[in-house]
Amino acid sequence: MATLLARAGVSCCELAEKDFLAVSPSDPRYRQVHYILLDPSCSGSGMLTRQLEEPWADTPSKERLHALAGFQQRALCHALSFPSLQRLVYSTCSLCQEENEDVVREVLQQNPGAFRLAPVLPTWPHRGLGTFPGAEHCLRASPETTLTGGFFIAVIERVEAPSSATQAKALTPELLPSPAPKRKRRRKAAAGASTLPRMQQASAQ
C-alpha cells in the first residue's frame, strides 16, 4: 500500500496497520470520518490475472464463499457504525453474488431506515443482480459484459434524520402545549372582590 501510494504521489494519508474490526468508531481519530472506502478481502473471482494463472480455481468453493461473506458482512456493519459517516463505497473484485448483492442486502436489513443505496454511474450498462429492491443501483463489470476485469461496487449513504422543525410540524394538537390563561380576567375578578366590602358598608349605613 505504501508503495502504491508513493507511486501515485499521494501524501495526504496515514497508514495504520491494524485490524479494522478492532478500530473503535468512538476513537477521537476516527469519529469524525465522513467517507469510507471498504474493499475487503474477497475471492478475487473477477481478476483476469488470477484466471490466467489458475484457470482451475475460477469458482470458489461454497465453504470459502461462506467464510468470506461472513467477514465482509462484519466489516461492512462495522464501517456503518462510525457516527459521522455520510457515504461508503463497498467494492470487491468478485463476480459472486454471495460476496456482493447478498452482503449488501443483509447489512441494509440489519440497519433498517438508516442507510440506502445511491446510484453508481447510472449510464453504466451492467447493473447489480435484481435479488432485492434497489440492487439496480449497484454496478457490476466482467470480461464478458464490459470487456474489463470483474468487480462490484455499491455506494451506501446515510438517510438524513428529520430536522427539529419538521418534527415540530408533525406534532398532533394534543401534544402541543395549551395556551396560558389570560391575566385580564383575573384582574376583573380581583377588582370585583375588592369593591364588595364597600357595598356592604354602604348598605349598613
**Three cell numbers written together for 154:** 455499491
58 is in an annotated binding site: no
Q: Cell numbers for 150, please give them.
A: 470483474
Tell me the pLDDT tens digit for each residue of 61-118. Answer: 999 999 999 999 999 999 999 999 999 999 999 999 999 999 999 999 999 999 999 9
**19 labelled as ligand-binding?**
yes
Residue pLDDT, tens place only, 31-77: 999 999 999 999 999 998 776 666 655 678 999 999 999 999 999 99
| pTM of the entire predicted model | 0.74
List pLDDT tens digits, range 164-190: 444 444 444 444 455 555 555 555 444
Supply 166's cell numbers: 419538521
Only one residue has cell 434524520, namely 161
The percent of residues in the chain predicted with pLDDT above 70, rounded, is: 74
What's the topology of domain 36-50+76-160?
Answer: Rossmann fold (3.40.50)
Which among 42, 93, 96, 138 is annotated as catalytic? 93
Establish whether 42 is a catalytic residue.
no
What pLDDT sits at residue 160?
80
Domains in the chain: boundaries: 36-50+76-160
Secondary structure of 5-27 as H, E, C letters: HHHHCCCCCCCCCCCHHHCCCCC
In 43-193, beta strands by DSSP E = 87-92, 115-118, 139-141, 151-158
